[in-house]
Every structure is written in C-alpha cells, then in structure tokens.
Structure 1
Amino acid sequence: MTISRSSLSRALGLALPFAAGMAVAVPAQGAKASSHTVRKGDTLWEIARAYLGDPFLWPQIYKLNTEVVKDPHWIYPGELLKLEGAPGQTAVPTTDTPPPAPAAIPAPRSEVTPSAPAPAPAPSPMPMAERAQGGQGQQPDDGLGLFRRLRVTSLDESYATYREVKYHPLRQGEFHSAGFLTEGEALPFGTLLGPVTPEQIQSGRSRAAMQIYTAVGMAPPDGASYAKGDLLLVVNRREGPVGYGEIVIPTGLVRVTGQNGSQAVGEVIALYGSMRDGQSVMPAEKFTDPGAADWRKVENGVEGHVLAPRDGRELRRPQEILFLDIGKAAGLSMGDLLTIIRTPGPQDKSAANAVAEEMATVQVVHLRDKTATVKVVTVASPDIRPGTRVKQVAKLPN
C-alpha cells in the first residue's frame, strides 16, 4: 500500500489542532498577552510554562491574582488571570534588599542622656507551698488533693514541676488505704447501705457499686451516730493470722453530709478498691503529716517477723502491703524503714545452705500496739514468706 505525500500532509494537519487543544492556548508568536482565561484542565504550572517559559515561575502569576485565586492549587474555568501587573506593580521585588544601616556610633560619655527608668520587675510566681494551701479564704489541705475538684487559675500552676514539690515520705492516702490487723479489739463497725439515688439503668449486679462522689447511706452501730463532717473509712473484713484478730482492708473514704432519718448520708471522696453495699464503715483515724523529712540511720534496730500479706499473692512486689508482728510497743514509729532478711539455713531443693541476705525494704504506713502495716518499697527477692525476719534500719525525725 502506497501513501502519497499529500495524504500524509492532510493527516498531520488534522492532528495538530487536537494536540494544541490539550495544552494552554497561547496567542500568536510576537503578541504579548496581558491576561488568560482559565479553561478546563489549566493549572498555574502550565500557564507559567506557556506564557513565561518556565513552570517554576507560577508564583508570579499567583501573586498577581490573589483577589481571584484563593488557593493556588485550585483555579476554575472562566476565571480571568492577569499575566502582568499594572504599571509599577510587580510580582517579585525588582531590587535587592538593601544592606542594614551601619550601627550608630555612641556619643561621648559627657553627652549621654539619662536612660529611661527600668521597667518594674514582673511579679514572681506563687510558691508551691502557697499554691498547695490555695491562698487565704479557701479550705485547708486535708491531704485529699488527689480527689478534690480544683480550679486552675493559670498555666504556671497547671505545669508546676515535681522539682518544686518536696518529697513527703508519708501520705494520707497510703495511711488510710493500707489496712491493719484488729489485734482482737472490738471496733465500732457500722454498715454501708448503698447509694441513696436509685439506678437509672437496671443492672444484673446483686450488690450496688459506688463511684467517686456517689451519695451513700450508712447505718451506724447500735448506740452510736455520725455527725455532719465526720470522715468514715469503708472496709472489707476477713479472718487474720491466729491471735491477731481480723484483717481490715479499706475500700474508700466517705464524708458525712447529713441525716436521712436514722441513717447517715455521705459522699464518697476517695476510692481504694471495689466499694459495695454491705461493707463495714468505721471512723477514720486522724493522720498526722510529718512533712518533708529525710530518714536517719538506726543502729541495732528492733527486729520482728512477717505475719502475713494483706492480699493473697505468693510473690511480693513494690507497693504491696504486709503485716508485721511488732508495733508501737516494740518501738516502731510511722515512716520507719525496715529490711526483710532471708533466714540462713538448709534449702528445700539445694544442698547449699541459704545465706542471710536482704530480700526487700519496707516502710511503716500504719501502726497499732502489737502490729505494723508496711508497704514494700524495693524488692530484691520476691519469695518473702510468713515468718521471714525483719529489722529496723532507719527512722524519721520526731
């Protein structure tokens, strides 16, 4: 098949207009356009390539048309774009930025004019001690700041660093949540009756669960009553080591707010565990904060033994609670540090005898006459069993 030169010329002549339609329409050579009407498919990149010869110059076109083009990524058919500014208007500066002016030469000392008075110093931030007290006219801190609804007055207060807060080795939350042994004493236990407001959504639980700020009813023991403002400890009770009474495990704190007939009404202000109706309530002991203090080493400290863990775990871990068979009568004080020491002697599964070594360090967080409640601070060997020896190693200053 033979294709004539005239046929080829006609085919090329028909194809070229279609190809031209896919690019930005440009005026005839020699004519300099001052504007461009956007067509479907146009972009600032292609318009800059067609009119300015370089697609990277598209910002010049955009800067001349900011009143029409709000976003350089989006231009719409029918928009009229200026390609050159009005006389004196340019898209980019025509001159370089002038160099900075030379620094002024200071005048002779004798001609120096008096300087303006220095600005008044900015007020220093409130010390953390004052922040903790909350300023005058507010309620004193009772150690329950973790559960109190506070109002932050400035960002400085909300972002206070831990470096500004001195370490307190004893805290009210640990004192009240640790629990203790009754030592056979008959304590005045009342009963937690449950929420005073019925559930809005019925649940399948047989016992109601209380949350923070729940209003609850309580029945005091026979012959007793609770007054508004009283702080009550809600506890679980179970059998303790032989000869040491019951184990008392706190689940939260309730502050009495009023009366409802013969029942007392209170608000849950702290939770330490699962608080449910039927648990016991008793007046909370007063906590005395020793403040920020460091321990002092003790030589020949008192010794005793581990009675039992508060919870039924086999291995010990930091923050776990243990009971000891020594208390106030033996010379222990709140905050004392003791070391739990492995008893040397034969082992069950080894021919080598065990050596006396430190297994853990504990801190006294609650005291009674014959027993102490301690919190595990550090653990080197977690297999601490009842009967393991303990020794006092440090005390807080009186």
Structure 2
Amino acid sequence: MTGNFVSRTPMLVLAAALLVVASPAVAQETPEPSGRHTVRQGDTLWDLAERYLRSPFRWDEIFKLNPTVVEDPHWIYPGESLQIPGAVSIADGSTVGVASDGGFPDNSLFRRSRDTGSGQSLLAIDDGPPLPVVSQSDFRRAALLLPESSVGHQGITVRVHQENPLDLNMPPSAGQFSQVVIGLGGLSPSVGDMLKAVRWGRFEEGYGRVMLPKALLRVDRLWSDSARATVVSLFGNYSVEDVVIGVDDYALDPAARAVETAIEITGTIVGFEVPQVLLGLGEMVFIDLGKANEVRLGDEFAVFGRDEDKVINPEISDALIIVRVVHVTEHTATARVTTVRDPGTRPGDPVRLVRRMP
C-alpha cells in the first residue's frame, strides 16, 4: 500500500480544485453519514482540514482524533477511515458540521442548492459563517517593522530541492510544495510545526527593520541542527539564505467587528511596505503604535494631513485614508488601506483610532 506524502505539484492541486468545483455531486466528495472520511489517493491531513474545518492549520485536530489510525501525520493511506472533528451523525443520514447537503462543507461558499434538483452549486454567502475582518492569510503575509533582536532565534534556508530533469541553470528559489532544508540556529520545532521564511529589508530609524514574509513552512523531519520542511504557502520569491523564524499565534473571532470608539489612541505613519508617492487600496503602511499602546488586530485608524487644526479635533470625514490593522508587534502595527479619499498620504501623517475591535 502506498502512502500519500504531502508534496504535490501545483498543477495537480489546481486540477483537483477544478474537479471539486465542477463536479459537486461526485459520490467520493460526500463524507459518510457517520461523520468520517475514507482516505483516497492524494488526500493529506492538510487538505482535509482545509476542506472540513475551514483552515488547513487545524490538521492536527484530525490527527489527534485518530491516534489509532494515523501514526505519522505525514502519511495517510487509501482506505483508512478518519473521524472528522465536530461531525455528528443524525437520523436522516446527513452529517452536521461537515457536508450535510452534498459534496461541499456547510461553511463553503460553493454549496448545492436545496431549492433545485439540478445538482448545480450556487454561491450561498448569506447563510455561511462570518469571515474574519483580518484573514489568517493576511496576518501571515503581512510585512512587519521591528527590531531584528526582538524576533528571537533565527534559522536559515540552506537548500532547496528542485525538480530539474533537464539540468538547467535554475536559481535556487522554492515553489509551493517544494522541499527545503533549514539550519535551525537555535529554533526547536517539532514535526508538524509551522515556521515562516522571511527576508530582512530596509532600516527605519528608531523602529528597526522591515521584515518581509516569503513562505510558510511545515516541518517534516528533524535532525540535531537542521530540519526538512515543505513550503505550504508562498508569499514572495523564497530562496536559499532566507531567514526562518517561528510563527505568531493567530487568534481572531470570525464574528468580531470593529465599532466606533471614544478611546483616544493617536500616532503617526512611520512608512510604507513599498515606498511610493501615492497609496492605493490594499497597500500596507506601518504606524508607530503597537501592543504597548493596546492596539488590536482589526482596529481601524483614520490618517489625516499634517494640518494642526485638524489634528487637534479631526473629523473622520477629513481623513485622507482609512487603514485596518492586520498585524501588531510590541511597538508598531502593519495596516492595510481600506478607504482612499486622498492618495497623497506621507510618512509623518497623524493617525487616530476610529473603530476598535472588542
């Protein structure tokens, strides 16, 4: 019997994704009434967690629920029956919390319509669960501004395994699902832990350096001073000599929303992730407020022009842009531009908290 290792080519993943969307009524895509999943060729715990639990990072919940079936989380075998966390069997044979209406999980945007017999999948946004104001992807890929010394232990990428059958002169850069070797340099992960590959960028005087995330890695095997890992998410051009660090915990209630507040938290724009003259939607900025100022993930700040009268008592209608915090360090925060009224924001412009997360 052949095990299914987590590494697969992006083309196969894309083909599998298209098959799911195009064929929602395929019997193999429907979980069993007992709330279990029978492993098929190509399945991984990572994929099953993404499918049934909304997040691939919850793969360990499936692993821990099936200790007598899965001995090594990197290897699962066709025919094995896995219990899915939160799934219970009900009288009519459907599975609550997994896929009670067909081949897609209840929390998927693609769900088979209960009102038609066509078997077509329709977008069902209104009856799905709320999405967090800051996604885990945005949190993980956000550039940070912080002192390099505050990060703690840092490893380094020493090798990228590439498929190069034609022996081409290719740069040592990694793609999604590539295998990499990491020099741990003081890091002490366990098999299955997640690490983040980053690259240090420019200095911002008084605040530290810009840290640019490049990839999210899953540790597959450990030695005394090194590890082998798989690239599970790619954020940029990840290559040999890029630094590897631990990942911050992501904890955000999907239903939580920022509300208007009278709490006075003010600061300034320190700089931009990408230096530029005009800011657009989705661009990232750094502000000089962080955990020490009780800034929270999802908080919203208004950015004003450097006009003293407006800084003293600014109205939100005077704001040049509105930004939402997507990551917080001890003394700075990274925020994404969500509203643009005037793209001419500059470093040094004042900011004020206008909506606060609970």
- Asked if structure 1 preserves the Cα contact closer than 8 Å seen for 2:187 and 2:245, the reply is no
Alpha-carbon distance, 1:198 to partner: 5.1
- Asked if structure 1 preserves the Cα contact closer than 8 Å seen for 2:261 and 2:355, the reply is yes
Aligned residue number for residue 371 of structure 1: 332
Counterpart among 135, 138, 158 of residue 171 in structure 1:
135
Q: Secondary structure at the match of 2:147?
A: coil
Alpha-carbon distance, 1:186 to partner: 4.2
- Asked if structure 1 preserves the Cα contact closer than 8 Å seen for 2:195 and 2:219, the reply is yes
Q: Percent of pairs identical after alignment?
A: 22
What RMSD in Å do the two structures reach over aligned CA positions? 2.8
Does 1:208 find its partner at 2:159? no
1:7-52 Cα shifts (integer Å, max 9, x gaps): xxxxxxxxxxxxxxxxxxxxxxxxxxxxxxxxxxxxxxxxxxxxxx
Q: Secondary structure at the match of 1:181?
A: strand
Letter of the structure 2 residue corresponding to residue 240 of structure 1: F
- Asked if structure 2 preserves the Cα contact closer than 8 Å seen for 1:209 and 1:274, the reply is yes
Does 1:290 find its partner at 2:253? yes
Counterpart among 172, 176, 191 of residue 156 in structure 2:
191
Letter of the structure 2 residue corresponding to residue 395 of structure 1: R
- Asked if structure 2 preserves the Cα contact closer than 8 Å seen for 1:143 and 1:173, the reply is no
- Which of the two has higher C-alpha Rg? 1
Does 1:384 find its partner at 2:345? yes
- Asked if structure 2 preserves the Cα contact closer than 8 Å seen for 1:234 and 1:280, the reply is yes
Letter of the structure 2 residue corresponding to residue 190 of structure 1: G
Alignment of 1:140-159 (within 5 A): 141=53, 143-144=55-56, 153=103, 156=111, 159=122
Aligned residue number for residue 358 of structure 1: 319
Aligned residue number for residue 7 of structure 2: none
Q: Secondary structure at the match of 1:204?
A: coil
CA distance in 1 between partners of 2:263 and 2:111 (Å) = 47
- TM-score with structure 2 length normalisation? 0.63
Letter of the structure 2 residue corresponding to residue 318 of structure 1: L
- TM-score with structure 1 length normalisation? 0.57
Aligned residue number for residue 78 of structure 1: none
- Asked if structure 1 preserves the Cα contact closer than 8 Å seen for 2:259 and 2:355, the reply is yes
1:327-372 Cα shifts (integer Å, max 9, x gaps): 12222111100001112279xxxxxxxxx93111101111112111
CA distance in 2 between partners of 1:297 and 1:376 (Å) = 18
CA distance in 2 between partners of 1:371 and 1:303 (Å) = 12
CA distance in 2 between partners of 1:276 and 1:321 (Å) = 23
Moved more, 224-233 or 387-396: 224-233
The count of corresponding residues between Structure 1 and Structure 2 is 249
CA distance in 2 between partners of 1:345 and 1:332 (Å) = 24
Aligned residue number for residue 220 of structure 1: 184
Q: Secondary structure at the match of 2:177?
A: coil
Which one has the bigger strand percentage?
Answer: 2
Letter of the structure 2 residue corresponding to residue 268 of structure 1: V
- Asked if structure 2 preserves the Cα contact closer than 8 Å seen for 1:325 and 1:371, the reply is yes
CA distance in 2 between partners of 1:343 and 1:328 (Å) = 25
- Asked if structure 2 preserves the Cα contact closer than 8 Å seen for 1:183 and 1:370, the reply is no
Counterpart among 333, 341, 362 of residue 304 in structure 2:
341
Alpha-carbon distance, 1:169 to partner: 0.6
Alignment of 1:43-192 (within 5 A): 139=49, 141=53, 143-144=55-56, 153=103, 156=111, 159-165=122-128, 166-183=130-147, 185-187=149-151, 188-192=153-157
Does 1:319 find its partner at 2:282? yes
Aligned residue number for residue 92 of structure 2: none
CA distance in 2 between partners of 1:307 and 1:323 (Å) = 5
CA distance in 2 between partners of 1:253 and 1:294 (Å) = 27
Alpha-carbon distance, 1:136 to partner: 5.6
Alpha-carbon distance, 1:225 to partner: 3.4
Letter of the structure 2 residue corresponding to residue 169 of structure 1: V
Q: Secondary structure at the match of 1:217?
A: strand
1:267-316 Cα shifts (integer Å, max 9, x gaps): 11111111112111101111002212222111253110000101122211
